[in-house]
Structure 1
Amino acid sequence: MKRNVRVMKFGGTSVGDAQCIERSAEIIARAAQSSPVVAVVSAMGGVTNRLIEAAQRAASGEEAMACEMIASLRTQHETALQALVADPAERSATGAEIERICAHAMNLCRGTALLRELTPRTLAAISSTGELLSARLMAATLRRLGLKAQAVDATELIITDDQYEQAEPLMEETREASRRRLFALLDDGTTPVVTGFIGATATGVLTTLGRGGSDYSATILGAALDAAEIIIWTDVDGVMTADPRLVPEARTLDEISYAEAAELAYFGAKVLHPKTLRPITEAGIPVWIRNSFAPDRRGTKITSAGHRARNGVKAITAIGDVSLITVGGRGIVGAPEAVAKTFAATASARANVLLISQASSQNDICFVVPSKEAGKTLEALRRAFAPDIQHHQVEHITVDHEVAIVAAVGEGMRGTLGIAGRIFSALGREGINIIAIAQGSSEYNISFVVEASAMKKAVATIHKEFGLESASAPRSETHELQAERA
């Protein structure tokens, strides 16, 4: 039987300190009055980065520094506990949990320093410490507010493969484990507070879902529980028509589709983890993006249908800190194996290819990867094409670090004539040079490469061309939001 469960995920800024945890706990407590809630929490803002640094310092032999960093995090969470919980027994019990979790992280750092080796499995275990801590703080705060609440480690719920730092869920096993554990708590009137970002293999070894993976945790659990909806609480009002740092006139979108949200996440919109929507698309579970610092604001609703933008384009996004790699030369014309060799080499370097473009003449193949992956990708290509370069079949393999990707996104672009013409005419009027272009067969986006220095101007130009700053204002609050407050 389908239950009216809501999954609420709180990001690092929403649990960033005692005041933020208090505010988020009040959101959960209010929502729990009308329907069962499963909360998913990230680590406090910045904590995961510090844990990774501690692990890396330990691997370099800096054991004392690594342990000092863990001790600092323990103090940070103990200070938050003092502010959040007054009851001596509750404070003592939660404090003991904080001490236990931090002691385990310290022991892992000591072992890493002794071996001078940081394995993916150990890094996953150390980097997950922040979620374990914040779940305990949130559960304790909810109990202080009068709820029955319990911290639940996602290692009991989300069963994954053994890719320790980029694990993928095994959904059948996850569904069974999550429903068994969480429904028992919900039936008892207990609000579970689940650690985001982490899971475990079938044998119980901790894994992580990748940086920013707490969003992914929420939708995995939402799908497993057949949730009524998923709400991702963050520090922005929702998905915007553009990054407001690039376009001050950008506005919050009222509603978008799964496909549009996935394109925006892939092309740099940081409000969603790129994998977030995978688990729930088939089930059609709505996802809300809302602001925990302004919980009365409606936010953005993500659904299977969304709604069509009047001009086709719904939002503009951009990715900086990327590099354009080009493999070219007259010798590869009509040589299909050149394409296969290019991407076999790229795959061997485990590079994330963000955009691909090839001229019909096949003189050049160019693609974009994150700048941090450009070096290893270039090395892999030069090894793969060494004989071809020697015989002048391939004339050059080059990299340009001073580029950016800009993408125009909208389901309404499909079948709307003249979208590409308007985009490129507007960019031409502003003197913005286009280096490469790509458009998927889905026609949900047109993406192109420009000089990095022109990224901001390109985004603002397209945003203005399609009148995204003057589209209709968000609707008044819907019955969904009103029901939540009832």
Structure 2
Amino acid sequence: MIVLKFGGTSVANAQNISKTIDIVYNKSKEKKLAVVVSAFSGVTDLLILAGKTASVKDKSYKDIVSQIEKKHKDAIDELIPLSEQSDIINTINHEINLLKTLLDGCYLLGELSNRTADIVAGFGELLSSQIIAVALKQKVSNSSFKDSREVIKTNSNFGKANVDFDITNTLISDYFKNNDFQVVLFPGFIASSVDGNTTTLGRGGSDYTAAIIAAAVKAEVLEIWTDVNGMFTSNPKIVKQAQPIETISYQEAMELSHFGAKVLYPPTIQPVLNDSIPIFIKNTFEPEVYGTLISNHPAATNNPIKGISHIDNIALLTLEGSGMIGVAGSSKRLFEVLSNESINVIFITQASSEHSICIGILNADADKAKTAIDKAFELEIAQNKIDECIVEKDLCIVALVGESMKNHQGISGKMFSTLGKNNVNIRAIAQGASERNISVVVNEKDVKKALNTLHERFFEDNTKQLNLFVMGIGNVGEKFIDQISQQKKFLKENLKINLRVIALSNSRKMVFDEEGIYLKDWKTTVDQGETANVDNFIARAKDLNLRNSIFVDITANYDIANIYDKFLKESIAVVTCNKIACSSEYDNYKNLKNLSRKYNAPFLFETNVGAGLPIIDTLKHLIASGDKVNRINAVLSGSLNFIFNNFSETYNFHDVVKEAGIQGFTEPDPKIDLSGVDVARKILILIRESGYKMEMEDIVNNSFLPKECMETTNNDDFFKSLIKHAAHFDNLLAEAKAKNSRLKFVASFENGKASVGLQFIPSDSPFYNLEGKDNIVQFYTDRYVDQPLLIKGAGAGAAVTASGIFADVIRIGNV
């Protein structure tokens, strides 16, 4: 015999019930079946609501009953031929009238006893099962209905009764010995006490009903039919990459179901465990899918982790004090108090010093538990031997589950480090000696990040998802997005990095998509977005709380440079080509570096100097290896190098500056480049990264621009001034030619002093042949004394700057 159980979604409506009946019909051709069904989806909740509503003298319970009645009679109309409806309608009318009578009594008395609540809650299964039994008989004539209350006997613990298996097993066994039906259909969830009162087996108890019957008849298999393709490696509603688990042990399944895997009611496994009856979790809507097999001997896999589960709405209670050390019975007293209050303990951890005990319970029980514990220990609290019970709410338990974890070293270390890297604070830890389960308590707001991060670490072939929040989508930003679109597949296949752009913003519009913005048409998406607002951008990024989040600043904006700390404090990495932050006050620069370390959030700005050239990265490696920078000589402005390389008698200064802007080599305000401010920022950043403390005003700026050019306030006036002072620039060019030199804007640092300015570079200098928009940097260090370490290459342009930003993002992915 096979036992099948169909959950609420499988019998939610006539269409789903028809699918359920088809499955039963096909299986009944080969085996005898016992079929257990739940209430129609949502009906049990309506019944409980009706009971509570009636008990507070609210007449709207009658409307709820009418809604329940209509739902079932609609199903009769759709499932059962009109000629066959008379008897089942009479049955349903009888049950509904009984329900109304009970609720009327609750209304008159103004109370709802546990006993009455069980009877009311059980009507859902009674109604659904009798309708489905009649519908089934249309297709399987040799089928019958059996009231579970006649064969499953319990004590009188209303709400979650305990089964008397000696009586129950005998009744079930005798029933099947004395009938020859091919299919017998039972209502789930309900049972009766030995003195005949209706009891229930707890929410989810229909699974338990099926397991009880399967154990009693020694079934070949117990099949739990639901709306998903088995048990998953994590909750697929939260972790989109969650995968079905093909095979799993009874113990692993119990752990996962206890820690929130709602596809299986935790007590279900116990009745079938002793007889090693396998359990299949199957999908009513995709019956051909394998599902999950739960047995004693699951197939071996390379991954020691079978699943990651969680329980929401947890409160952590801590009892601590010196009065507990070495005092026998403290734990016993604590747990007795909770037991007397019928409070279920979900999580326990205790310091080896016996100084404190920490337990996890449901949020709803926290206040009641604290009151009871403080009362039980009031003498010790009054004597300052024990502190008052500490309560922390709005927490969540996350559990790694796997039978083979005990045979693999470092699982807990990987778990903790993975959560730590994403700034998921662990409030408490518990691990049993069996090492089948490692549980941690985290803030509820971090549960999505925690589950996704852990799933990525243990199940996704170490693929790391990076979530980008991009601000600034002009020339460089556009190239950056194009590079992501082009390289996305390569990165995933070769570097195990999954890049997703979650947000895009310019000065006018911004757009967010938690699942990742479709990049093929991103410009249209942004144009149709909401009004850009920096504060809202920060708040949205914070609220999404995604793992491996990176804020990418591709602007030259002061205000944007001043918000990096807000991201770093949320463990959101910052990648920027904006030089303003790192060249601001030294204390601000150091604060950002410190926040990066404190919150484990990378702060990368390779493109601040040399665009895509690995200048800062190389410098960091020098310092990290113990070298010391003593002197720096550099041409750090690709735009100025382009300008002076192209400036000639036939190509005037004004025109070449214009062309540099068109090609994206200058800042939006070209005066920043030509005034030397941009180069001063760059050398300042190199000086600071070399380990020296310096401010912007400490750098001598020998500007080559006439005073009138410097004093302009907009680009139009600036370019007009370049034309007006053309002779000044022509004279500089003539002087360079007379000296057989070339004009280069050079930055220097030595002996704690720094300067930037236009220089006449002789032909024997390595700077002389620097072409196009190239940069060059010379580092003289303790190791590179006579011959400097030299880095040279393209130092300006949208594409190379974008590639430098891209490289910083990949560095974070490889951490």
TM range (shorter): over 0.9
For the 8 Å contact 1:237–1:289, the answer to whether it is kept is: yes
Q: Greater CA deviation, 300-309 or 17-26? A: 300-309
For the 8 Å contact 1:251–1:469, the answer to whether it is kept is: no
Aligned match for 1:36, one of 27, 32, 49: 32
Aligned match for 2:136, one of 136, 139, 142: 142
For the 8 Å contact 2:28–2:182, the answer to whether it is kept is: no
Q: CA deviation at 1:311?
A: 2.8
Matched, 1:454 2:441: no
Amino acid at match of 2:69: R
Change (3 A) 1:134 1:182: farther
Residue aligning to 2:390:
398
Q: CA deviation at 1:19?
A: 0.7
Larger Rg: 2
Residue aligning to 1:347:
339
For the 8 Å contact 1:463–1:469, the answer to whether it is kept is: no
Residue aligning to 1:58:
54
Q: CA deviation at 1:273?
A: 0.6
Q: CA deviation at 1:334?
A: 2.2
Aligned match for 2:13, one of 17, 20, 37: 17
Output the CA distance in 2 between the equivalents of 1:361 and 1:463.
Answer: 34
Residue aligning to 1:86:
81
Aligned match for 1:321, one of 313, 316, 321: 313
Q: Secondary structure at the match of 1:405?
A: strand
Pairs within 5 Å for 1:300-311: 300-311=292-303
Residue aligning to 1:476:
none
Output the CA distance in 2 between the equivalents of 1:20 and 1:467.
Answer: 33
Question: Structure 1-normalised TM-score?
Answer: 0.92
Output the CA distance in 2 between the equivalents of 1:309 and 1:122.
Answer: 49
For the 8 Å contact 1:308–1:412, the answer to whether it is kept is: no
Output the CA distance in 1 between the equivalents of 2:461 and 2:226.
Answer: 22
Larger RCO (alpha carbons 8 Å, 6+ apart): 1
Residue aligning to 1:155:
149
Amino acid at match of 2:178: A
Output the CA distance in 2 between the equivalents of 1:231 and 1:337.
Answer: 45
Q: CA deviation at 1:469?
A: 6.5
Aligned match for 2:175, one of 167, 174, 181: 181
**CA RMSD of the aligned region, Å?**
1.6
Q: CA deviation at 1:14?
A: 0.5
Residue aligning to 2:410:
418
Residue aligning to 2:399:
407
For the 8 Å contact 2:313–2:363, the answer to whether it is kept is: yes
Q: Secondary structure at the match of 1:320?
A: strand
Residue aligning to 2:43:
47
* 1:34-84, Cα deviation, whole Å (9 max, x unpaired): 10111100001110111011111221123x322332222111101110000
Q: Secondary structure at the match of 1:305?
A: coil
Pairs within 5 Å for 1:35-434: 35-62=31-58, 64-88=59-83, 90-185=84-179, 187=180, 189-434=181-426
Output the CA distance in 2 between the equivalents of 1:154 and 1:68.
Answer: 29
Change (3 A) 1:171 1:469: farther
Output the CA distance in 2 between the equivalents of 1:311 and 1:52.
Answer: 42
Output the CA distance in 1 between the equivalents of 2:367 and 2:182.
Answer: 50
Q: Secondary structure at the match of 1:466?
A: helix
Q: Secondary structure at the match of 2:433?
A: coil
Amino acid at match of 2:428: A
* 1:237-263, Cα deviation, whole Å (9 max, x unpaired): 000001112211110000000000000
Q: Secondary structure at the match of 1:200?
A: strand
Q: Secondary structure at the match of 1:20?
A: helix
Give 5+ residue unaligned stretches, structure 1.
Answer: 472-486
Amino acid at match of 1:147: S
For the 8 Å contact 1:359–1:365, the answer to whether it is kept is: yes
Amino acid at match of 1:74: E
Q: Which runs of 4+ in 1 moved over 4 A?
A: 468-471
Output the CA distance in 1 between the equivalents of 2:306 and 2:185.
Answer: 35
Percent identity at matched positions?
36
* 1:112-159, Cα deviation, whole Å (9 max, x unpaired): 222222111111111100100111111111112243322211001111
Q: Secondary structure at the match of 2:394?
A: strand
Give 5+ residue unaligned stretches, structure 2.
Answer: 464-815
Question: Structure 2-normalised TM-score?
Answer: 0.56
Amino acid at match of 2:363: S
Output the CA distance in 1 between the equivalents of 2:104 and 2:462.
Answer: 57
Output the CA distance in 1 between the equivalents of 2:87 and 2:182.
Answer: 18
Output the CA distance in 2 between the equivalents of 1:180 and 1:311.
Answer: 45
Q: Greater CA deviation, 306-315 or 14-23? A: 306-315
Output the CA distance in 2 between the equivalents of 1:7 and 1:206.
Answer: 23
Matched, 1:443 2:435: yes
Amino acid at match of 1:322: I
Residue aligning to 2:684:
none
Output the CA distance in 2 between the equivalents of 1:424 and 1:101.
Answer: 54
Q: Secondary structure at the match of 1:449?
A: strand
For the 8 Å contact 2:102–2:116, the answer to whether it is kept is: yes
Q: Secondary structure at the match of 1:69?
A: helix
Output the CA distance in 2 between the equivalents of 1:68 and 1:465.
Answer: 50
For the 8 Å contact 2:33–2:182, the answer to whether it is kept is: no
Output the CA distance in 2 between the equivalents of 1:399 and 1:318.
Answer: 20
Q: Greater CA deviation, 391-400 or 24-33? A: 391-400
Output the CA distance in 2 between the equivalents of 1:333 and 1:220.
Answer: 45
Change (3 A) 1:28 1:428: same
* 1:86-129, Cα deviation, whole Å (9 max, x unpaired): 141x2111111111111111111112222222111111111100
Output the CA distance in 1 between the equivalents of 2:119 and 2:302.
Answer: 48
Q: CA deviation at 1:470?
A: 8.4
For the 8 Å contact 1:39–1:194, the answer to whether it is kept is: yes
Q: CA deviation at 1:324?
A: 0.6
For the 8 Å contact 1:314–1:468, the answer to whether it is kept is: no
Q: CA deviation at 1:388?
A: 1.4
Change (3 A) 1:309 1:374: farther
Q: CA deviation at 1:441?
A: 2.0
Q: Secondary structure at the match of 1:280?
A: helix
